[in-house]
C-alpha cells in the first residue's frame, strides 16, 4: 500500500513545469493508481499486501506466519505440500491449494502481522 507521505514527497512536488500549480491529492491519484495490496503467490513464496515476501513454514518448523482477520489472529503454516492451515483459539481452517488460500485471505481482508 502506498502511503500519502510517500506520494507527496518534496522531490515529486518540485517535478513540474514553470507556472503549474502544486499537485493535489486528486492529481496524484489520477497519475498513480492507489490500491491496497493483495496476497499473491509466486512459486513457493507468499507476497504480502505490505510488500513483504515469505515462504510458508511447515508443520515441523517453529515459525508461523501471523495473519489477522477482523479481531482474530491466525497462525498460518503448511502441513503437506499445497495443504495450508489457519489456526487460532476459536477457528481452524484448512485449504488444499495456494489459490484457495490466496482467495480466502483477500476476500476476508486479512492483514499480515509478522512471523512468530
User: Are 71 and 93 within one domain?
Assistant: yes
User: Are 58 and 91 within one domain?
Assistant: yes
DSSP for 81-104? TTEEEEE-SS-EEEESSHHHHHHH
Band of the pLDDT at 17, cuts 50, 70, 90?
Answer: confident
User: Are 31 and 6 within one domain?
Assistant: yes
User: Are 49 and 97 within one domain?
Assistant: yes
Asked if residue 3 has pLDDT above 90, the reply is: no
User: Are 5 and 44 within one domain?
Assistant: no
CA-to-CA distance for 23 and 14, rounded, in angstroms? 9
CA-to-CA distance for 9 and 57, rounded, in angstroms? 38
User: Are 49 and 24 within one domain?
Assistant: no
Q: Where are the alpha helices (DSSP H) in the chain?
A: 4-7, 10-13, 25-31, 98-107
User: Are 6 and 54 within one domain?
Assistant: no
The predicted-structure confidence for 77-112, as pLDDT tens digits, reads as follows 998 888 999 999 988 999 999 999 999 999 998 999
As for how many domains the chain has, the answer is 2
pLDDT at 32: 55
* Angle value at C-alpha 96, between 92 and 98, nearest 5 degrees: 105
Domain that holds residue 72: 40-115
Amino acid at each position: 500500500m502506498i502511503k500519502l507521505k510517500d506520494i507527496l514527497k518534496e522531490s515529486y512536488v518540485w517535478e513540474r513545469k514553470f507556472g503549474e500549480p502544486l499537485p493535489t491529492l486528486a492529481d496524484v491519484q489520477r497519475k498513480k493508481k492507489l490500491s491496497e495490496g493483495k496476497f499473491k503467490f509466486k512459486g513457493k513464496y507468499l507476497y504480502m499486501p505490505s510488500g513483504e515476501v515469505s515462504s510458508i513454514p511447515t508443520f515441523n518448523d517453529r515459525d508461523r506466519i501471523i495473519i489477522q482477520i477482523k479481531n482474530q489472529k491466525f497462525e498460518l503454516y503448511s502441513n503437506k505440500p499445497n495443504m495450508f492451515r489457519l489456526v487460532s483459539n476459536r477457528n481452524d481452517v484448512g485449504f488444499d491449494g495456494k489459490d484457495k488460500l490466496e482467495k480466502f485471505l483477500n476476500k476476508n481482508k486479512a492483514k499480515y502481522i509478522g512471523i512468530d
